[in-house]
A and B are shown apart, each in its own frame.
Chain A
Amino acid sequence: GDSVTQMEGPVTLSEEAFLTINCTYTATGYPSLFWYVQYPGEGLQLLLKATKADDKGSNKGFEATYRKETTSFHLEKGSVQVSDSAVYFCALQRNAGNMLTFGGGTRLMVKP
């Protein structure tokens, strides 16, 4: 079945550091890929998405590129802020309108 694997956290960085959170997936066909973010005390919010190979999703300084050859969708940001502290979830969707399959989440803590 479909699965998503994320690097375990917590990831602790200083403000303005470079961020990478690894995500790899297993799925048949060509799924769409997503990053969701959960800030403390809030619900899941879509951060970015990519629907086909080599697409790059971007939002709020975060980027992720859909790599079919390595089945990966790593999240990156050049300079993190304290306000980026949250839990980040990678997810895939095999067909439009169907369920999301999530990874286990990676907690990011950014220190001033």
Chain B
Amino acid sequence: DTGVSQNPRHKITKRGQNVTFRCDPISEHNRLYWYRQTLGQGPEFLTYFQNEAQLEKSRLLSDRFSAERPKGSFSTLEIQRTEQGDSAMYLCASSPLLAGYTDTQYFGPGTRLTVL
């Protein structure tokens, strides 16, 4: 299966620690998105990349959050000095960029972060 993969699937950390998540998109998908989903809510957009360029960041993405996609393939999302409010499911999605067409975003299984 060549779907979107995310690692780790679960992460438990103590408040104040740094955490890093990885997303591997579907091969040859140009665009990669990060979303955050809290319990009982819909996903909220955080940021997205086209190849290695970060094109948009949500206001939700505080200075403690940073995302990279250095070679235009996998991406990492780092949260520094975690807070309990960061506890959520972090979702990654990828899509091809087809000019003139509405592209479908394919989601990974998510990384569940629990901050104690």
Contacts and interface: CB of A to CB of B under 8 A. Distances in A.
B31 interface: yes
A32 B101 CA distance: 10
A73 interface: no
A112 interface: no
Interface residues of A, number: 23
B55 to A, nearest CB: 9
A29 to B, nearest CB: 13
Task: Determine chain B's interface SS by DSSP, over half rule.
Answer: loop
Interface stretch (B66-74, B79-87, B105-113): B105-113
Interface in B26-47: 31, 33, 35, 40-45
Nearest to B6: A43
Interface in B42-56: 42-45, 48, 50, 56
A100 B91 CA distance: 12
B102 A42 contact: no
A104 B42 contact: yes
Interface of B: 4, 31, 33, 35, 40-45, 48, 50, 56, 58, 91, 93, 95, 97, 100-110
